[in-house]
Structure 1
Amino acid sequence: MMELGAALGLYAVLLVASNSIERWLQPEGAARMALALLPMLGAAAAVWAILRGLDRMDELQRRVQFDAIALSFLGTAVITFGWGFAESAGAPQLRAFMVWPIMGILWGIGIFLAVRRYR
């Protein structure tokens, strides 16, 4: 949890710094792209921390996580595909920034269901 917390803290600091620097300097081209992607260093650190955490889990904890991740992956696929079809009927466009919150919410639901299942 400490590693993940530090990674998310790094992400937050880089996000605020990136946005502030972009407003102040108003870069263009490659510099603007590099600045926009700067917070991804924190996101990559979070991925590393999560993978290390999964590696440290026992078999039951891994099974709970697997079930939750499977629900999250499949549920997100169904929701985003369905939304894509709905867009052709006039629904507003689903922004890519919404995919992770959908995955995160479904992962949380998956954790809840898996923990109840394996009690």
Structure 2
Amino acid sequence: MKIQQEQKYSAAERKAGGRYMRELFGSIAVYMVLLMASVTYGPAMDFGFLKTAVLAAPVIGFFLMIWAVARQVGRMDEYQRIVMLETFTLAAAVTAGVTFTYGFLETAGYPRLSMFFVWGVMGASWLVIGMFRRWVMDR
């Protein structure tokens, strides 16, 4: 299978993929470090600008993730870009449907969910739809 994959992707595509993985996992590492510091030190701080800055610091890592994804989209050819953006669009539609539906359930007494739930649905949808589309294209 590995030999098949090496023939399937050009050297430039493998190089771009490696660069993307380094950028993405580097940004995830920044996010995790800032998140750990935020939840460790932020809650005990007095209310004010410094507490807000410490608690919001993990967003820096999140923006770095967006930067890594945007750079990778820029490195893709037109076909790859269309496939990725279609997958993202489908994931956004699934997320809208799930969160909109759950909003109605909340009016019927279901527990309120954190906004972090939206990102979880979005990320999971993007992953599952992407894996499915890849499976269909590879058949």
Q: TM-score, normalised by structure 1?
A: 0.90
Residue deviations 1:31-75 (CA, integer Å, cap 9, x gap): 211111111111111111110011111223212212210111000
Work out whether 1:15 is the aligned partner of 2:31. Answer: no
Q: Distance in 2 between matches of 1:59 and 1:108?
A: 21
Q: Distance in 2 between matches of 1:21 and 1:95?
A: 21
Name the residue aligned to 1:62: 81
- Pairwise CA distance, 1:116: 3.5
Q: Give 1:3-82 correspondences, 5 Å limit.
A: 3-23=23-43, 26-82=45-101
Q: Which of 106, 116, 119 matches 1:100?
A: 119
Q: Distance in 2 between matches of 1:63 and 1:41?
A: 28
Q: Distance in 2 between matches of 1:4 and 1:102?
A: 20
Q: Which of 85, 88, 93 matches 2:104?
A: 85
- Pairwise CA distance, 1:29: 1.7
* More contact order relative to length (CA 8 Å, sep ≥ 6): 1
Identity of aligned residues (%): 35
Q: Distance in 1 between matches of 2:46 and 2:87?
A: 41
- Pairwise CA distance, 1:18: 1.8
Question: Which amino acid counterpart does residue 45 of structure 1 have in structure 2?
Answer: L
Q: Which runs of 5+ in 1 are unaligned?
A: none
Q: How many residues align?
A: 118
Q: Which runs of 5+ in 2 are unaligned?
A: 1-20
Q: TM-score, normalised by structure 2?
A: 0.78
Question: Which amino acid counterpart does residue 86 of structure 1 have in structure 2?
Answer: L
RMSD, aligned CA: 1.5
Are the equivalent residues in 2 in contact too, given 1:4–1:49 (CA < 8 A)?
yes
Are the equivalent residues in 2 in contact too, given 1:68–1:109 (CA < 8 A)?
no
Counterpart of 2:112 in 1: which secondary structure?
coil
Rg larger in structure: 2
